[in-house]
Structure formats: structure tokens, C-alpha cells
Amino acid sequence: MKERELIILFKISDGDRNAFSKLFENHRLCVSSSNIFYHTIRMVNGKSKMIDRDTYKEYFLNLLNDIKLETPPIDAFIPNEDETVDAVFVVNDCVPEYERIKNRMTLDFFNSALPGANEIRIQVNEKPELMSTILDDLFINFCLFKYLDQIDTIRIQELSNYTPVIEYVVNNITEKDIKNYMNSRRINEEKYRKYCADIFFMPEFSVTCKFFSSDDDTAKSRRGEFPCFDVLTLIKKLATNIVCQSDIYIITAIYLTMSFAIVDISNDNVDGSPCAKYVRDVLSKI
């Protein structure tokens, strides 16, 4: 099928296609940024030695939350190349955020943050040299929470950025359009990997797949009477039939429509949500 014919099938004008192209590139940048933060979180999570995540959240999060995140993850945590050191990464104590934590976290300030009987406080007061370990731990946990905030912020930006394409799909792409588009029902895994490798934030994608298809009690409770279907199979079928670049703009919007509908479905607001209604009335029937 020629590109011109496919555009007619999906009713995409040249003007919309050009606009969607720019939004799609912005979407890919959002996904790339989210993946960088996510993979760094996975790398550093649980690597603190004295102050774990829960302790940081209870006693230090509010005390350090006003410090702005400036340093990219790749500069904050340097891969360890010293074979004599048993560590995956080295904390970069020269970055601005570390310096600000260090300047704020005097021994007196540290003691005031923790209860008098806290074991960590007792250990540090007995061995003040442990403050260097404490600073590393605080920096690691500071970054963890900031990176999670960044992912949430990027997701909001992603929705705002791609809203015009999502609205276009919801208002213009019918069940018949999608079924006609899927000429081949045999899944092409190679095309799926080629076109979809960098358009999904995978933790979010996994949540979306599980929400609509899982039989576990939590998913069924959140989904209620909403019809279930296999998101991954649907995306693979769509990717299998890609012929021109504009196809991927629509496929991305179809996925995001499902992802963003979850909140309204969970809150039993299907009829008040265009995305949730579209997933129920169109996508679940493909």
C-alpha cells in the first residue's frame, strides 16, 4: 500500500502529519529522559549503607527537598572502573547538589534531624568520620526521590505534548479504520522491535498492559466491569502493519490513550472521559 493511500485511510492531512511529526519527536525525547532516570534509579536503589530509603523519607526528605536538581544522572553517578573497589558506581561529590547537602548537613544539623535514641545518630556521634558515608547516602536518596519527581513531571509534559494527536485519534480514528488498517493479522516481531523500541516508557507500558489484561484481584478491582483485552498484542498487530512514518504517530497516540484512561477507569468515570470511552468502545473491540 502506498503512503498516500494509507494517509487517506487514517484521514491524516499533510498539515496534521507535519505537526504530528514534531510532537512525536518530542514524545521520544520524553521517553528517553524517563528511561535515563529510571535506569539510574534501578542502579542506585538500595546501595546506601547507613540511611535507607525509608529513613531518608521520614527524617531528611523535607529537610533537603528545597535543593534543586541540576546534575544529569550520568554525571552524578560515575561507573566504577577500579577493580579493587566493590561498587557499581562512585558518587560524584563535586556536583552542586552534593556540595549543598554537605554544607547543610553539619553534625549538629544531622543530630537535630534524628531522635536521640536513633542507632544511626549514636554511631555517627561515636565515629564522626562516618559522616562521609552519611553524605553519600543522603545524596543517593536525594537523587532517588528527585528522579521519581522528574519522571512524574515528564509524564505530564508527555500528555500535554501529545494531546493533539490523542484528540485526533479519539475524534477521527474509528474501529473500522483500525481494523481496515490491520491487513496482516500475523504478528511481525521484528517490526514491533524496530518501530516500538523507543516510544514506550517500559515501566508505564507494563502497568498499562497489566491493568487491561491481568486477572489478579487488584487489577480486576480497579478495572471493575470495564472490558479486558491484550494491550501488547494490539500494539504488536498495529506495528506489524506499519507502512509509512505517520503510522507510528497514530500507534503512539493509541497507546497513550489507553495509558491515560486508566485513572478515569479506576475512578469509575468512564462516561466522563473521552479516552476511557474510546478504549471501551473502540480499542477493546479490535
- Rounded mean pLDDT for each run of 10 residues along the chain, 286 residues in total: 45 87 96 96 95 97 97 93 78 97 97 96 96 98 98 93 96 92 89 94 94 86 92 96 91 96 95 96 95
pLDDT at 11: 66
CB atoms < 10 A from the CB of 108, how many?
8
- CA 47 vs CA 147, 159, 202: distances in Å: 16, 33, 23
Domain boundaries, the chain: 3-37+153-285, 39-150
Q: Which residue has the cell 509534559?
A: 157
CB atoms < 10 A from the CB of 44, how many?
21
pLDDT at 10: 61
